[in-house]
Amino acid sequence: MTAPQPRNASTPPGGPALKRAIGPKLLILFVIGDILGTGIYATTGKVAGKVGGALWLPFLIGFVVAVLTAASYVELVGKYPKAAGAALYTQKAFKVPFLTFVVAFMVMCSGLASASAAARAFSGDYLGEFTDALPPTLVAILFLLALAAVNLRGVAESVKANVVLTLVELSGLLVILSIGAYAVLTDGGEPSRLTDLETGGTGYALITGVLDATALGFFAFVGFEDSVNMAEETQDPARTFPRAIFIGVAVTGTIYVLVALVSSLLVDSRTLEGSSGPLLEVVKAGGLDFPPKLFALIALFAVTNSALINIMMASRLCYGMANERILPPAMGRVLATRRTPWVGIVFVTVLAIGLVSTGEIEGLGDTTSFLLLCVFAVVNIAVLVLRKDRVEHQHFRAPTALPVLGAVTSLILAGPLADRAADVYIRAGILVLIGIGLWVVNRAVMRARERT
């Protein structure tokens, strides 16, 4: 049994603490479910459109970058097992409240952009296998509202729902791998496509094209960083997180590369690019007689899981920031009966609904990746800065080379070498400006309260 936790900045004064309901096995499934989902089910085709038949290459590079940064998160969550995640690490390392707020806001917006991308994916081609009677935007909004209700119900219920949805979405990817295995055994598909790099040129154009595809493909790997925001709801986080995050990234990375190989083997890149349900095209092209409608249903469950986790994590981030006084204290209010951060859940759901109308899956996914890559660069640097800060308990320590390489690779993928569309930078810039505006307002309110 976990010992009672002392009251600290992460425990709202006069209010209930968060419930430690997540054990080791549940956390592993949580991490896997957080990473799997919208990225691989919805953006595979868009990545193929950028890089051609060598679809597996961006996912392989993305896997390496994810491992590097995951090591930094594992060290920090073991060292500081609190709910605020990257915001907490930034504040402890640099002690610049404005930078802390910007990082925290970028993390929150990345989760909301990801949830909005999932909502768009839910209302796209996969749902189109069943009906197109309702407007996609309306479907996406109703989808987000339903997930907010599950989140309000409680963390145990939300995480258990995540376990069920994780098993469902894993089954869909296993179907794809089975189709690929059958194709290989029966000499099906077109193996020559696997080495085709179609980036519009050679040399510099080839490099920027691969980086652009990797930056978008990296959207499929985001999620492991969300799990650290569950530190206060996890049993013995210093021991539980290292195994859970590394297993989660390794399992999903392996699956992603294999799924990318199968997709390119069976379907040409232009067909994949033109579909918002690219894996459905793989099912239809495979030699196995698997019902497309059943696979579409599995895909709907997969994107539902992604959105559920992102809404959950964004609300926990609001909770953590409120208790660190980065956001107004009201954001830290916990529902007494369910012990969930109800104000944060309502707030992030409203923002996610607003984001649904700002772009399609590719743009929202690329925005998610860009925002998080910027945050990852800061977190990797923070690990090195915080090496001088000793704590009494034991925790994982990453080899120094890993955070150094993590910072460099994150900056490369976030920078101009990744030739992403201008609307991604514009959307991210507007979100950051909104955050700065909230920062100014919050500071003014806090100062006014101090005078009274």
First and final CA of the chain: distance in angstroms?
Answer: 45
pLDDT in tens, 134-172: 898 899 999 999 988 888 876 665 566 667 877 888 899
Residue tagged 């460099």 (tokens): 408
Which distant-in-sequence residues (6+ apart) come within 8 Å of 327 by Cβ? 318, 321, 438, 442
Q: Which of 419, 404, 232, 228 is nearest to 309 (CA)?
A: 228
User: Is 388 buried (19+), middle (13-18) or exposed (0-12) by CB count in 10 A?
Assistant: exposed
pLDDT of the residue at 9: 38
Residue 22's DSSP bridge partners are 234
Q: Is residue 11 part of a domain?
A: no
Q: Is residue 193 part of a domain?
A: yes
The token pair that represents 284 in the structure block: 């239809």
Domain containing residue 275: CATH number: 1.20.1740.10
pLDDT (tens, 9 = 90+) of the chain, 452 residues, equals 233 333 343 444 445 556 666 778 888 887 887 788 888 998 899 999 999 999 999 999 999 999 999 999 999 988 988 766 788 899 899 999 889 889 988 988 898 999 999 999 999 889 999 998 889 889 999 999 998 888 887 666 556 666 787 788 889 999 999 999 999 889 888 999 999 988 776 778 888 889 999 999 999 998 888 778 777 778 788 888 889 999 999 999 999 999 999 999 999 999 999 888 899 999 999 878 899 999 999 999 888 878 887 888 788 777 877 776 777 777 778 877 777 788 888 888 988 888 888 778 888 999 999 999 999 999 999 999 999 988 888 889 999 999 999 999 999 999 988 888 888 999 899 889 887 887 787 788 788 878 77
Q: How many domains does the chain have?
A: 1
Q: Is residue 235 part of a domain?
A: yes
Q: Is residue 17 part of a domain?
A: no
Range of the domain at 349: 24-390+399-451
Residue tagged 């992604």 (tokens): 306
Dist. CA 385–CA 376, nearest whole Å: 14
Q: Is residue 18 part of a domain?
A: no
pLDDT of the residue at 232: 76
Q: Inter-axis angle of helices 342-356 and 136-153, to 10 degrees? A: 170
Q: Is residue 14 part of a domain?
A: no
Q: Is residue 356 part of a domain?
A: yes
pLDDT of the residue at 6: 34
Q: What is the DSSP letter of 112?
A: H
For residue 364, CA distances in Å to 7, 56, 119, 428 come to 38, 22, 11, 10
Q: Looking at this protein, which amino acid is placed at residue 143? A: F
> Coil, strand or helix: which one is 22?
strand
Q: Is residue 181 part of a domain?
A: yes
